[in-house]
Amino acid sequence: MNTNAHVLQKQPNSAHIHNLPEEVLCNIISLASLYRKPHERFKAVVPSTCVCRRWRQAVLDCSTLWSTIYTRLTPLNVIAELLHRSKDAPLVAVVQVFKETAESDQTAAELVFKHSSRIRVLDFKGETLLHFQCLAKFFSFTLHDLEVLRISRREQSYHNFIGFDLTKFSYHLSRPLKTLALFGDMDHLPIRTTLFRGVSRLSLTLFYSSSLAPVLEMLKQNSVVEDFQLTVQSKFWNHPSPIVASLPSPGHFPRLRRLSLDMPAAICKLAIDFFNPSHDVDCTFTLRSFSAAAPIIVLPKSFSAHPGTPLQCVVKWLGLNISTNFQPDADSNNKEGSRLQIRIHYDLDDEIGLAASFSVLGANISSTTLSNSTAIDIVIELDMFDLNEHIFHTFLSTLPDVTNLTLEPRSAGEHSWPDQELTMKLFFNALAQSSPGYIVPKLTQLYIRMRGSSQFYLPISVIVNCLEQRRSDGLMLEHLTLHAVSGRPEGEHIRPDLLQRLEDAVGTLEWC
């Protein structure tokens, strides 16, 4: 002990943090600042200048720590100081101009745009035509370092185009952009310019357009695209027919690794056929105005679920979310496959509910060979009026190979336990139906997640009767887990004799 104290006295700076090279120290501080919101990142850096003289000098000398600038609600003197401390480092500029603070926002934007030659990332968000026109000054300079450009509108804004010509903008670029995000209608987007050439990550949000053909034809000329996101809004939803007939022939995208489509269901089906993504592509499909009366199957028939990952389903009143992993290609280095997500938003004019959700879900599973998945995780977030036993039976009959099943009943209502109790009753009654044959015959692992603000009612007698019947017919459940995520199970029907019968009906019973 005395020896250790003597060493510390001789080497007061022997702590590992003091032995770090300045470059490593600054990298740690930079990574720590990423956990803060963009407009607060410099606030995460400032305290490090107060630790000691060495830290202060290292941080002040590291120009990249001061190179992220968020203009909105940041005082002009702070922006000026950040620009000074960042020296010649490439800038990440998040510029927002909104109505309520338009004058100060525009002044801040002009201050940043004076350093346009070293802006590497520009993320601009505006609200009116006048706001977007302040970008014109920025685009008049030669942009040596610009690699990422994102232009978007404020969420509550109804302004549908940028308002100035981007056609000549590409002439000021010293090299092609790596990332580009734009919004607008087809009449104002510079689709036929060189601006899109060589872009590897592209995101477009379209309004009031009559055809997708120019966008898709442009993509066919850009074989280097790796990440593409397309959102189609507004009039497309109600009038898809003009663009359905005008889509070009399928393209070839060898580098595509992520595809995100958000549009009406009928158009999305055709867009997927255009891209024809392979099993190496992470896909997210958001289907708007989905008609539950005539569900559209959106996935190519060649897609199949990876048997090692669960098919996850979230059923809600106005929509349905499905996610799983693709079966990887035989020659692929990715043994886990790629991620698939389907988000369905029903047409508000349709009768919607659990029946519609499960009919769509069952149709997708049976038609796209997703039923080879051996595990499924279902979250049901509905009220009791949407539920019936036949729905569960019809849907679960599409899952003959499932061995592991997770069920989590929820409710968006004020009192959750009646909905959860009824959901579990109907679910286990469906499992108990033996005519014409048991559904999910290979089920061996069942996991029930339960949530409640203070308590929930567990239909033990229904669960026991179902599992006893399946056991007597040779379909014994090997493991049952009842997990109270929040709250506690209550009810006079939880009796010692029922709990004993439940333990006897399964191989192992786990409460947690």
Burial class (CB in 10 A: 0-12, 13-18, 19+), 509: middle
Is the pLDDT higher at 8 or at 382?
382
State in Å, rounded, how far the first CA of the chain is from the last one: 46
Give the 3-state secondary structure of 410-422. ECCCCCCHHHHHH
Q: Which segments of 201-253 are extended strands (E)?
A: 201-206, 227-232
> 230 forms bridges with which residues in the sheet?
204, 261
For residue 293, pLDDT over 50 is answered with yes
Q: Which helix (H) or strand (E) holds 132?
A: helix 129-133
For residue 13, pLDDT over 60 is answered with no
Residues of the chain above pLDDT 70, percent: 70
Distance separating alpha carbons of residues 415 and 383, to the nearest angstrom: 10
135-144, 180-189, 357-366, 416-425 — which is least confidently predicted?
Answer: 357-366
Residue 508 confidence (pLDDT): 92
CB of 354 within 8 A of CB of 391?
Answer: yes
Residue 200 confidence (pLDDT): 92
- The mean predicted confidence, pLDDT, of the chain is 76
Picking from 148, 170, 53, the residue whose alpha carbon sits closest to that of residue 91 is 148
For residue 341, pLDDT over 60 is answered with yes
For residue 69, pLDDT over 50 is answered with yes
Q: What is the DSSP letter of 435?
A: S
Q: Which helix (H) or strand (E) holds 262?
A: strand 258-264
**Owner of token pair 């286990």:** 428
Q: In degrees rounded to 5, what are phi and psi of residue 196?
A: -90, -10
Residue 466 confidence class, pLDDT cut points 50, 70, 90: very high
Distance separating alpha carbons of residues 483 and 411, to the nearest angstrom: 17
Burial class (CB in 10 A: 0-12, 13-18, 19+), 21: exposed
For residue 26, pLDDT over 50 is answered with yes
Average pLDDT over residues 59-85: 87
Residue 14 confidence (pLDDT): 47
36-40, 195-199, 256-260 — which is least confidently predicted?
Answer: 36-40
Residue 144 confidence (pLDDT): 76
Is the pLDDT higher at 170 or at 477?
477
Distance separating alpha carbons of residues 250 and 219, to the nearest angstrom: 10
Residue 8 confidence (pLDDT): 42
Q: Where are the alpha helices (DSSP H) in 34-67?
A: 41-45, 53-61
CB of 378 within 8 A of CB of 407?
Answer: yes
For residue 162, pLDDT over 80 is answered with no
Average pLDDT over residues 123-130: 80
Residue 174 confidence (pLDDT): 73
pTM above 0.75, yes or no: yes
**Owner of token pair 């060189």:** 194
Is the pLDDT higher at 457 or at 343?
343
CB of 242 within 8 A of CB of 210?
Answer: yes
Average pLDDT over residues 28-36: 79
270-274, 312-316, 410-414 — which is least confidently predicted?
Answer: 410-414
Residue 1 confidence (pLDDT): 42
Residue 343 confidence (pLDDT): 82
Q: What is the DSSP letter of 313?
A: E
Residue 284 identity: T
For residue 187, pLDDT over 60 is answered with yes
Residues of the chain above pLDDT 90, percent: 9
Distance separating alpha carbons of residues 445 and 374, to the nearest angstrom: 11
Burial class (CB in 10 A: 0-12, 13-18, 19+), 511: exposed
CB of 243 within 8 A of CB of 262?
Answer: no
Which range is most confident: 49-53, 377-381, 486-490? 49-53
Residue 506 confidence (pLDDT): 92
